């Protein structure tokens, strides 16, 4: 059944040679290449071409590149995409006969700063997820890194995000029992996270996932850090509408920033509304006051 619905995970080996260009046209050419690369990756079929090509060899990590968490790509099959972001897509898949979610991150070749940031987020997320084990933390399974895409494989959460669940509800329609059950799941996951010395820094309803039993699990650790290593939050690594004031001001943060975000999530559970709609004057003021940083942060 898997073979009819999913395709073997394959990487395309690039055979292109470096272009020899004059210094005067380098900037213009880089801009054009960046535009073409974005269009190629944003097209509906481009990622499937990288993953599904039958004319290239399946990529295998060399022994020196392998980590304990390195995925066996011969056991990975990719299904339909069900979510996407600025640099990532999430697919349903099967890994070693188990339903999984496959988060694939596109690593740009033209923007050095963006590439370095995404690589660091990937490294951080894998390092943290691979050591976390709790019923209310999404379970890490495997990962691999091979430009132009990196991937992280986790358990598949069939009911999607808490935000998707709330979007289907009428305002103030959740029962007190349901609110408490969901809130306790989140708090237990966050309590465990803090006990491990980890600050999430981007706790929000779209980073909270629901399984078949409607239990909540905390996910997406790309901006997380160890509390002992968290410096000033340069670049505002969270999401404005859930972000504590000290993070907006790019000051040193502690686990208290997660407590603040948890309070916003509790408000979402109570009202079923999204925190500060995109057209909300308060959200607009925050974004305008940080105009130079808002472009890289959801607002």
- What letter would DSSP give residue 200? -
Paired with 209 in beta bridges are 161, 217
Among 95, 72, 73, 66, which residue's Cα sits nearest to residue 2? 95
Distance CA 214, CA 232 (A): 36
* Residue 202 bears catalytic tag: yes
Options 42, 185, 202, 258, the catalytic residue: 202
User: Distance (Å, rounded) from C-alpha 269 to C-alpha 281?
Assistant: 22
Is-contact 283 277, C-beta < 8 A?
Answer: yes
Q: Give the length of the chain.
A: 299
Residue located via tokens 């909300």: 280
How big is the CA angle at 11 (ends 53 and 69), to the nearest 5 degrees? 140
Q: Which residues are catalytic?
A: 202
């Amino acid at each position: 059944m898997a073979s009819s619905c999913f395709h073997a995970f394959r990487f395309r080996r690039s055979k292109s040679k470096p272009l020899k260009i004059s210094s005067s046209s380098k900037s213009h050419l880089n801009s054009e290449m960046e535009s073409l690369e974005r269009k190629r990756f944003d097209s509906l079929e481009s990622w499937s071409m990288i993953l599904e090509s039958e004319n290239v060899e399946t990529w295998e990590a060399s022994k020196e590149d392998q980590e304990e968490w390195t995925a066996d790509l011969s056991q990975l099959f990719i299904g339909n995409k069900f979510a996407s972001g600025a640099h990532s897509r999430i697919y349903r898949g099967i890994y070693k006969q188990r339903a999984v979610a496959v988060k694939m991150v596109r690593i740009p070749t033209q923007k050095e700063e963006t590439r370095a940031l995404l690589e660091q987020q990937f490294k951080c997320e894998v390092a943290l997820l691979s050591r976390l084990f709790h019923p209310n933390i999404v379970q890490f399974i495997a990962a691999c890194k091979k430009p132009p895409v990196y991937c992280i494989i986790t358990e598949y959460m069939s009911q999607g995000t808490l935000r998707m669940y709330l979007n289907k509800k009428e305002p103030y329609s959740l029962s007190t029992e349901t609110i408490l059950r969901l809130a306790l799941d989140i708090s237990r996951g966050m309590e465990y996270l803090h006990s491990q010395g980890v600050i999430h820094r981007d706790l929000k309803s779209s980073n909270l996932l629901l399984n078949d039993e409607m239990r909540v699990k905390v996910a997406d650790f790309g901006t997380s850090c160890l509390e002992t290593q968290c410096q000033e939050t340069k670049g505002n690594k969270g999401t404005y509408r859930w972000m504590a004031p000290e993070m907006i001001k790019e000051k040193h943060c502690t686990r208290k920033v997660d407590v603040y975000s948890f309070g916003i999530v509790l408000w979402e559970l109570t009202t079923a509304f999204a925190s500060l709609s995109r057209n909300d004057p308060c959200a607009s003021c925050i974004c305008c006051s940080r105009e130079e940083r808002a472009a890289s942060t959801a607002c």
